[in-house]
Structure 1
Amino acid sequence: MGILSTSLSLTRYKIVENVPDTLWSEIQDRLLKFSFQDIDNTTDERSFGWVCFDNMLDSRWQTAPPTKGEFLAFALRLDTRRIPPAVLKKHFQIHLDEFRKKLKEQGQKYISREQKKELKEQVKLKLLTKTLPVPAFFDVVWDMQKNLVYFASTRPKVLELFEELFTKTFELHLEPQSPFFKALNILGQEQLPKIENLEPTIFV
């Protein structure tokens, strides 16, 4: 669900470094450098990058700029092309049977491991050309005054991807504002051993 939805999963970050004033004028250029690249007409299994907050199909920001008053708003788009294991297994077996028949006619009795591996790759590529990638969109809102970044997901793999791409794009690092990190910021690094050993209290 997006930031403008009535309910959503949200992860909040604090930018570790001081943001240089020169960065603000470079925001759109940096987003464009790492913008989403479509893979509909390829056999690539994954593609990700930034897109416009107002139009998830717009990776050139022609619909609207990322600046929204005191905030920056854009989105991470992640397209994934997957072949269900059962489908791959079925079509591999079909092609394997046909290959065995052809080899038998040529007087060859056995199929080598390399031949099987190559055949499986060929089948996979063939199926990939027939499989459309599934798109996913995750909104990003950056509070420029407080250096807080809000990301519309809590999925660990998506968070890892977002954090790496954010750092690569803006040369800034994000610190998750979880209760653990908030407590560490308030109490100080010297309290880290105590915080790490805390256990939840059951009141019922």
Structure 2
Amino acid sequence: MGVYSNTVSFAQYRIQGELPGEERFDWLAAALSGRIFRSIEQSAEEQAEGWTCTDRPDDPAFAAAADFWRDRYLFFTYRRDQRRIPSALLKSHLGRAEGEELAKRPELKRLPKQKREELAERVKLGLLSRTLPTPATVDLVWQQDEGLLTLFSSSAKAMERFEELFPKSFENLRPQLIYPYARALSLLDEAGRERLAALNQAASEAALDEIRSNGWLGAEFLLWLLQGGLEGGSFRVMVPGRYEQGTAFAAWIDDRIQLQGASEAGPQKVAVSGSQDSYLEARSALKSGKSISNAAIHLEMGELEWRFVLNAELFTFGSFKCPPVRIEREGAEELSERESAFFERMYLLEAGLQLFDSLLAAYLQERLGDAWEERLLTIRDWLEAA
């Protein structure tokens, strides 16, 4: 699933550091080319990784702006090719090779350790040279003026590799995951940030500390939305973006809810799937002390619908499905089919995220205001009635 897909999974990052004001194209092209992907199909190398062009993953060349730049978006792809030899196959070939060597030296019952290691390496290289590498790609879209980068994967391994490779490629720039506390801060004014800071349970400003110490924020937000959906789930756009502020939309949780709690035996998880009516199973788990770790959120505006699974701890988005509609753009007839698809996907993605941020802003407005105690009582009564 990549930038052109109607259903995607992704994580978002804030890029920290200063981009060059002049000759930016040359600087970016050089940075990407410095760690460009190079094929290993004609070699016996086990793996290779690097940046490649999203539209031409087999022919990376960041030579022209059209290769990786559209309007305000920089787009490129991380590619990793790896050869994998099944362990059973390697064991079989190695056993055969050791048998042939022992047949030449009948005085030995077992080959010396060094000889076995040399033989194993030779057998492995021989198999690697006959095995085609398997490619894996992850698309990236970087809105430079906003300092926002979307990594089209929510895999922990992909995120870790990106976070390691990006600063090595782009000097003096560092990606910072937009986790719940950071996303909340970005939606608040100065007074709101001060009120949220008073609830911050982290002992430092380190991202990992703020993620681990403020797990309550994402879990509480999902609980607020779960209970609020029963009251009609009616909200209004509260943040700038594709839609005018004040525009009405609906939001609710359904289809999938995962809860987690701790016990002496270790973490306990409860998964609730299927269309929900009164959320009785989820409410029972919440009453027992568990919290929501991820849930499927539905957004609806008129005839348009978005659906995604939100990770409460990191605010990564899984299976983010956009409306299957085409957005008309001025001058669209002058764009290639691929360009049009790219702009359509980004428009719909940004529209859905505007609604999500509006949801989060509505929660924060209530959470940091005087009405929160009343909301807590409502939630507690609702759980007790399960």
Q: Which residue of 2 aligns with 1:77?
A: 79
Say if 1:23 and 1:193 are closer, same or farther in 2 by CA, change over 3 A: farther
Q: Which residue of 1 aligns with 2:29?
A: 28
Distance 1:190 1:27 in 2: 40
Give the secondary structure class of the aligned counterpart of 1:191: coil
In terms of mean alpha carbon deviation, does 63-72 or 137-146 score higher? 63-72
Whichever residue aligns with residue 147 of structure 1, its letter is: G
Whichever residue aligns with residue 92 of structure 1, its letter is: L
Listed as ranges, the matches of 1:45-194 within 5 Å are: 45-61=46-62, 64-104=66-106, 107-171=107-171, 172-183=173-184, 186=193, 187-188=196-197, 191-193=200-202
Give the secondary structure class of the aligned counterpart of 2:117: helix
Q: CA deviation at 1:122?
A: 0.9
Q: CA deviation at 1:182?
A: 2.7
Q: Which residue of 2 aligns with 1:18?
A: 18
Q: Over aligned residue pairs, what C-alpha RMSD do you find?
A: 2.4
Distance 2:161 2:149 in 1: 15
Distance 1:47 1:16 in 2: 27
In terms of mean alpha carbon deviation, does 52-61 or 116-125 score higher? 52-61
User: Is 1:79–1:135's contact at 8 Å kept on the other side of the alignment?
Assistant: yes
Give the secondary structure class of the aligned counterpart of 2:97: helix
Q: CA deviation at 1:184?
A: 6.6
Q: CA deviation at 1:163?
A: 1.7
Distance 1:193 1:69 in 2: 39
TM norm structure 1: 0.88
When you count strand as a share of all residues, which structure comes out higher?
Answer: 2
Structure 1: stretches of 5+ with no match in the other structure? none
Q: CA deviation at 1:181?
A: 3.7
Distance 1:143 1:189 in 2: 32
Distance 1:83 1:77 in 2: 20
Q: Are positions 1:6 and 2:15 aligned together?
A: no
Q: CA deviation at 1:167?
A: 0.7
**What is the percent sequence identity of the aligned residues?**
33
User: Is 2:36–2:60's contact at 8 Å kept on the other side of the alignment?
Assistant: yes
Q: Which residue of 2 aligns with 1:37?
A: 38
Whichever residue aligns with residue 168 of structure 1, its letter is: K
Q: CA deviation at 1:198?
A: 4.2
Count matched residues: 202
Distance 1:189 1:92 in 2: 62
Distance 1:28 1:133 in 2: 27
Distance 1:19 1:121 in 2: 45
Whichever residue aligns with residue 59 of structure 1, its letter is: P
Give the secondary structure class of the aligned counterpart of 1:123: helix
Say if 1:168 and 1:188 are closer, same or farther in 2 by CA, change over 3 A: farther
Higher relative contact order structure (alpha carbons within 8 Å, sequence separation ≥ 6): 1
Distance 1:188 1:16 in 2: 21
Distance 1:100 1:181 in 2: 63
Distance 1:69 1:90 in 2: 54
Q: CA deviation at 1:197?
A: 5.8
Say if 1:70 and 1:197 are closer, same or farther in 2 by CA, change over 3 A: closer
User: Is 1:92–1:123's contact at 8 Å kept on the other side of the alignment?
Assistant: yes
Q: CA deviation at 1:180?
A: 4.4
Give the secondary structure class of the aligned counterpart of 1:13: strand
Give the secondary structure class of the aligned counterpart of 2:164: helix
Say if 1:117 and 1:85 are closer, same or farther in 2 by CA, change over 3 A: same
